[in-house]
Amino acid sequence: MSTNTPPISVQLYSLREESKADFDGVLSKLAMIGYAGVEPFNLFGKSPRGFRNQVESLGMKVSSSHFPWVNRSDDINQVGDVIKELGLSRAPGGFAPDDFKDMDAVKRTIDLTQDMVKQLKPLGLTLFLHNHYWEFADIDGRTAYHYLQDAVPEVEFEIDTYWAANFGHNDPAAEIRRVRSRTPLIHVKDGPLEKGLSHVAVGFGKMDIPALFKAVDPEVLEWAVVELDQCDTEMIVAIAQSYKYLTQNNLAKGNV
């Protein structure tokens, strides 16, 4: 396995229902599966430092976080404090469909992104953006997200590869290559590439998963993060199957 093979993390949103019932149990199960990291979206009452300590006591790391979002907070300093307590140097951001509905909206989104980058700098933090599918709509003959990517060169990305495929209308590997020097994180998910249908374990759907890993810059990519929004099968089983597929195919590395 290449020394540049990224470690594997999991976005805990995938296990949100299970976490509501037994968050400690979920973390323990992920450690037993072999995941090297976790990406929280909610700390379920734990303090940032307490959560980090618990994760590390299980032999994992906090790879990244979707909490707190910079553009959903009125207090940038509080965001910075939480991110640093989690042991991270990147704060998350992301946008809704209306933020990319037309060119005027894109211009406002660019301005907001530039402002977030500027506010985070004195805190010693950078901004990364997580996408959904609406960023990849066509506006005036060009992919909407490309306007923002080119206008704000300091922003980093966590390319969500499934949504970047835009239900088969886009090449997600090409989207990664476009910003590979600014993509330290990717979300890896799989499914039928049809709106309204559930995701499946990574390697069991229509996504060309190996092509995604060929597209990244191995010197830049720090974590491959599994996320499954919903599954028709038991989620923890799909998460374990995703781990097995990625590690057995030498695309990502775990702890076991």
Domain of residue 33, CATH code: 3.20.20.150
The residue behind tokens 């953006």 is 129
Q: Which helix (H) or strand (E) holds 39?
A: strand 37-39
Which residue's entry shows tokens 């990664």? Answer: 176
Angle at alpha carbon of residue 217, lines to 219 and 11, rounded to 5°: 90
Query: pLDDT tens for residues 193-246?
Result: 999 999 999 999 999 999 999 999 999 999 999 999 999 999 999 999 999 999
Q: Could you tell me which of 168, 241, 180 has the C-alpha nearest to residue 214?
A: 180
Of 27, 31, 10, 19, which is closest to residue 256 (Cα–Cα)?
31
pTM of the predicted model, to two decimals? 0.97
* Cβ atoms of residues 83 and 29 within 8 Å: no
Question: Is there a domain that residue 234 lies in?
Answer: yes
Of all residues in the chain, the percent with pLDDT exceeding 70 is: 99
Residue 128 covered by a domain: yes
Which structural domain, as residue segments, surrounds residue 220?
Answer: 8-248
Please report the pLDDT score of residue 57 as a whole number: 98
> What value, to the nearest 5°, has the Cα angle with vertex 18 and ends 14 and 20?
105
Residue 154: predicted pLDDT: 98
The answer to whether position 45 is within a domain reads: yes
| Residue 97 domain flag | yes
| pLDDT band at residue 252 using 50, 70 and 90 as cut-offs | very high
pLDDT value at 12 more than 80: yes
pLDDT given for residue 74 in this prediction = 87
Indicate whether 130 belongs to any domain.
yes
Distance CA 59, CA 49 (A): 16
Domain-embedded: residue 82: yes
Give the model's pLDDT for residue 3: 57
Give me the phi and psi of 63, to 5 degrees please.
-70, -35
What's the structural domain count of the chain? 1
Looking at the predicted structure, is the pLDDT value of residue 2 above 80? no
CA distance 171 to 73: 33
Residue 254 lies in a domain: no
E strands, 56-153, where? 61-62, 90-93, 126-130, 138-139, 142-143
What average pLDDT score do residues 151-179 get? Answer: 97
127 domain residue, yes or no:
yes
Residue 116 DSSP one-character state: H
